[in-house]
Amino acid sequence: MSESSGPAHRPSAVAGPWSVPVLFRERRPRVVVKADLLPAVSVFGVLTVLCFPLALAWALLAPPERVRIVDADGTQGPLELESWHRFDDLAVFGFLALGLGIVAGVVVWLLRERRGPVVFLAAVLGVTLAAALAKLIGVGWANAFYVISTPPTLGSVIELAPRLESWWVLLTGPLGVSIAYTLLATWNGRDDLGRRLG
């Protein structure tokens, strides 16, 4: 071998100026399940209780449908444009549930030491159950608010209680949680979602 040729070069453990040797690379954090179970149950329970204010808000905000009594036996005839309130009732509930989901997603994200899929799943299930219970309770309260105490007379206009005719509206709550939590997790950009910093 000639003197001009330098010593044989071995492949370095460092591939580039900013990389770290394999032995010192930080391990990816694993999903914490056991430690997050109790906080997840707490999140689920608190969100479920929120079904009562959600039901009350909908029962007070949803517009009733007005109809006219067109026959002596109490037959109801629709008034022009009043049937649109059936969609308005769904829209009001959907926006309320969506707002609850977004707020729940942000608040759960602020629990820094419990960030992860366990608490996120508890929030999704809690908001879903809260919306389902609010749908049932809210319709009952609305019926109580718009109860007709005396038989209506012919030609009179009465107000029918708001109603929810589709269960698909329940998807807006968990959708709000998913949107808020996913956007915050994407913005955070850490493998452990910042749990170590808590």
Q: Write out pLDDT tens, residues 140-177.
A: 999 998 887 777 777 777 778 898 989 999 999 999 99
CA distance 26 to 113: 19
Q: Count Cβ neighbours within 10 Å for each residue of 62-80 and write b for 16 or more, e otherwise.
A: bebbbbbbeeeeeebeeee
pLDDT digits (tens, 9 = 90+) for 14-46: 444 444 454 445 556 566 677 778 989 999 999
Give 7: exposed, middle or buried? Use CB within 10 Å, 0-12, 13-18, 19+: exposed
Instruction: Output phi, psi for 160, to 5 deg.
Output: -90, 145
